[in-house]
Amino acid sequence: MLTKLNTYFKHNFHLRITLSIAAMIIVMSVKAQDLHFSQFFEAPLVRNPALAGLFEGDVKVQMVYRNQWGSVTVPYQTGSLSGQYKFGVGRGDDFVTAGLQVLWDKAGTVALNTTHLLPVVNYHKSLSGDKNRYLSLGFIGGWVSRRLDRSKVTTNNQYDGFGYNGSLPDGETFLANYSYFDAGVGMSYNSSIGENKNNNFYVGMAYHHFNKPVNSFYASLQHMPKWVGSAGLRTAMGELSYITLNADVSIQGPFKEWIGGAMFSRKIGDEIVPDYIIHGGAYLRWGDAIIPVVKLDYNPFSIAFSYDMNISELRTASQGRGGFELSLSYTGFLNSNGSTKDIIRCPRF
């Protein structure tokens, strides 16, 4: 009986360690490649600080919540909250967008938490007297904090011969928290196509973590810089419909990610000031997930929902269930002399 009991505890302990290691591998692999969103188009400051201000309005507030890997291990939760405010500069057609990007995530059984607090500034240089072509230079930089719950860390050092013994020390000496300064820079070009403001495009390139901050609980390991190339196109299909395409390519050390797709949009009501707009489409994260998306605009608010259908090697364990995302946003003009409503024609992404 004691032999069976000992075997039971031993096997269950090693099972627990195995699952913990698997969860940490998933967490660390995601962290090594930076956090990401399937609705990346709803988190423009994360993509490229030079994409700040590419909306029709003076202010914009966006929130994205992501929950993934719940079908495999402890859910990995990620959130984004950003605010943007743009205003004209001098008597010309140039303008500036100031913003703030807040990011947070929680992962794994050890409750690994990361918080980013990143101010953003983007200068838009007008290249046309029609105020519809701009070259932008943006900067993002601020404070990042990471912490974990040491009381939830379990190691082989806590196996006492019979099973897991939480009263034993874990034998690890790493810190439970640390922080660092992170920074990135980007450029973008955007332009209208013809007279229809629903026909426009943008392209951009960003370089994140250019200061190579130390980012590790164990040793002085530098955060790998990351290049992100972005592009988008919106084109009208009649008076009440249009299609929007968005794509990103990210390269960070040995890791590469490609995501892109399209959404079809239909205005309900008036062509100029519709009662609401319904969007539907799909995106593909190459080698990882197919992502259907639905969205509703009810001026000045928008809400969107997406779901990752896993197609990677993890699909057997996840049963094809990757995770869901929910986004909310508010866009509006200010009733002030500094309003950009009549002085700037920007792409509406």
∠ Cα 210 254 69 (to 5°): 100
In 3D space, the residue among 130, 248, 132, 262 whose CA is nearest the CA of residue 186 turns out to be 248
**Mean pLDDT for each consecutive 10-residue tract of the chain (349 residues)?**
42 46 42 77 97 94 88 78 93 92 86 92 90 93 88 66 66 76 97 83 97 78 91 94 97 94 96 92 95 96 96 63 90 76 61
Question: Which residue carries 């509006």 as its tokens?
Answer: 332
Domains, the chain, with CATH or none = 2-332 (2.40.160.40)
DSSP-derived 3-state class of residue 323: strand
Q: How many whole angstroms separate alpha carbon 291 and alpha carbon 336?
A: 40
Looking at residue 295, what is its pLDDT? 98
DSSP-derived 3-state class of residue 22: helix
Q: Which residues pair with 292 in a beta bridge?
A: 282
Cα dihedral 84/231/39/125 (nearest 10): 0
Looking at residue 265, what is its pLDDT? 97
Count of Cβ atoms closer than 10 Å to residue 334 Cβ: 14
Looking at residue 171, what is its pLDDT? 60
Is residue 330 exposed (0-12), middle (13-18) or buried (19+ Cβ within 10 Å)? middle
Looking at residue 107, what is its pLDDT? 79
